[in-house]
Amino acid sequence: MKKTRKLFRRIAAIGISAAMLFGGGITVLPQIADTAVAVNAAAAGIKLDKTSFSLGIGESFRINVTSGKAVNWTSTKNSIASVNGGLVTGKKTGTVVITAKTADGRTAKCTVTVKNRPSKVTLTKGVLTLGVGESFTLGSGVNDGAASANRNYRTSNSSIVKMTNTKWTGSFTAMKTGVAYVTVRIYNGKESTCKVTVKAAPTKVTLSRGLINLKVGQSASLSASVPSNSGCATRNYRTSNAKIVKMTKTDWTGNFTAVAPGTAYVTVRTYNGKEASCKVVVASNTPAQSGYAKLVSKMKADKAHYDSESGQVMVMVGNLDQDARKGSGYGISYDIENDILQFVGTEARLDGDNVYMLVMAMDDKEKKYGMLFSWMVVTEEGGETNNGVMMTAEGKSASLTKSAVIPFEATDLVMGTDLTETYDKDMLSKGKSVGNTKAKAYMAKWDSMLYKYCGMHMKDIGFTNWK
């Protein structure tokens, strides 16, 4: 019988052990889990919703625990600010540190500065016009040396202006057309009010300018307007390319600075999605070299075509010998000493003993341009006499020198008077006719030659109306 009882005890023990192994763990594991939770909670410590703030003398403000549980609150100097369960009260000016402590000794701190009672409170705006459906936020401030941690906002008519936030900042939405007043009140009873007029939502928005030209480094600003029967206090500006135009102010007015050459668009957008854009073209603040300057630079460096006797660089087709009796030709020459660019064309013995020469001169520094048609008469004795006429848009005459090159348009040539004291009227008349004909022919030749020489056309060096 005793043996049987011992066997029963062994079987029972095995059963209990098995129960603990397979089922009894249910009673043990929760204790382990509870221990883990306690450890994690302790590790999390304690957190407050503020690390610092200011309040006025006589004002109370609550610090909230956002994580953990505080069981003890202390102030480094109760005579400046006391604390009770997280509620801090300012007593006199100064600074203290408020400490919240958990049961296991973990702490969180908040610095509190006590300032004077405010003598006034001021809203960021005193008058405001909104459109129906628009939201806006008002801020407020107190006089220097004072503080108020509590700011409470209210509306005079919630059917027109509905408050959505009434603490610290006043946020509200325009519900329907009309007038309402939003008022802020601080702890010692000081108040400030903003008149809010609600109008219809805008149907469009218009910018003050549609095109702005700037150089790199320059700044500009844009303002926007909506129809007079509508309202919009929110105007947001953006740039299409911040690498070209960088915004420096994006609300109400759009201020921006040109940072790189190129084109960008500054766009304003109202609260209800209406937009308007301004094209901003940014040029380099270093003037680009003109086509004329590029051509002159190339000719100055062109040693192969430099003629030391005349001091000119001459790029030519055919023979441009001065007496023009050895052949015909046309070309470009640059007078280095006088800084004058010339396009020259000659044709030998076209009419009996006459040799024709057409010269167009450019003085870019003086902004003067002129064209001379001249011819030489070969006498029976073998001598030569020169005659010439100046062709200008004004029909004036002048010598082709640096100091007196008359402006002219290459597409509107007219013949002027001759350049000599005496001349043959018949020859002059004939010269005018031939000169106009030759001018048109040579213009096409010069344009083609210029392109082959430096990849530019006549219009690229100043003749914008060249055809």
Task: Please give the Cα distance from 40 to 5 (Å, whole number).
Answer: 49
Instruction: Tell me the average pLDDT of the chain.
Output: 76
Architecture of domain 206-283: Sandwich (2.60)
Strands 312-318 and 329-335: antiparallel
pTM: 0.55
Q: How confident is the model at residue 280 (pLDDT cuts 50, 70, 90)?
A: very high
Q: How confident is the model at residue 71 (pLDDT cuts 50, 70, 90)?
A: confident
> Are the C-beta atoms of 262 and 224 separated by less than 8 Å?
no
In one letter, which amino acid is 382? Answer: G
Of residues 388 and 148, more confidence is placed in 148
3-state SS class at 185: strand
286 token code pair: 């270093």
Least confident span in 21-35, 143-157, 268-282, 430-444 = 21-35
Residue 78, pLDDT above cutoff 50: yes
Q: How confident is the model at residue 350 (pLDDT cuts 50, 70, 90)?
A: very low
Residue 376, pLDDT above cutoff 50: yes
Residue 9, pLDDT above cutoff 50: no
Name, in order, each residue with C-beta under 8 angstroms of 89's C-beta and a sequence gap of 6 or more.
Answer: 58, 59, 60, 81, 82, 83
What digits encode the pLDDT tens for the residues 166-220? 888 899 999 999 999 999 999 999 999 999 999 999 999 999 999 999 999 999 9
What digits encode the pLDDT tens for the residues 90-115? 999 999 999 999 999 999 999 999 99
Architecture of domain 47-115: Sandwich (2.60)
Q: How confident is the model at residue 127 (pLDDT cuts 50, 70, 90)?
A: very high
Q: How confident is the model at residue 317 (pLDDT cuts 50, 70, 90)?
A: confident
Q: What b-and-e string marks burial along 72-109, b requiring 16 or more CB atoms within 10 Å of the CB?
A: ebebeeeebbbbeebebbbbeeeebebbbbbeeebebe
What digits encode the pLDDT tens for the residues 13-70? 333 333 332 333 322 223 223 333 333 333 358 999 999 999 999 999 999 999 888 7
What digits encode the pLDDT tens for the residues 452-462? 998 988 777 76
Residue 446, pLDDT above cutoff 70: yes
Comparing C-alpha atoms, which of 322, 298, 290, 340 is closest to residue 459?
290
Question: What's residue 461's pLDDT?
Answer: 76
Please list the residue range(s) of the chain that carry CATH number 2.60.40.1380.
Answer: 47-115
What is the distance between the terminal CA atoms of the chain, rounded to a whole angstrom?
Answer: 134
Of residues 379 and 408, more confidence is placed in 379
State the average pLDDT over residues 242-249: 94
Question: What's residue 295's pLDDT?
Answer: 87
Name, in order, each residue with C-beta under 8 angstroms of 210's C-beta and a sequence gap of 6 or more.
Answer: 278, 279
Q: How far lies 82's CA from each of 58, 59, 72, 94, in Å?
A: 11, 11, 13, 12
Question: What's residue 343's pLDDT?
Answer: 77
State the average pLDDT over residues 414-425: 35
Question: What's residue 342's pLDDT?
Answer: 77
Architecture of domain 121-199: Sandwich (2.60)
Residue 365, pLDDT above cutoff 70: no
Please list the residue range(s) of the chain that carry CATH number 2.60.40.1080.
Answer: 121-199, 206-283
Residue 389, pLDDT above cutoff 80: no
Task: Please give the Cα distance from 249 to 252 (Å, whole number).
Answer: 8
Of residues 307 and 136, more confidence is placed in 136
Question: What's residue 394's pLDDT?
Answer: 30
Q: What are phi and psi of 288, to 5 degrees?
A: -70, 145
Comparing C-alpha atoms, which of 293, 289, 354, 298 is closest to residue 323?
354
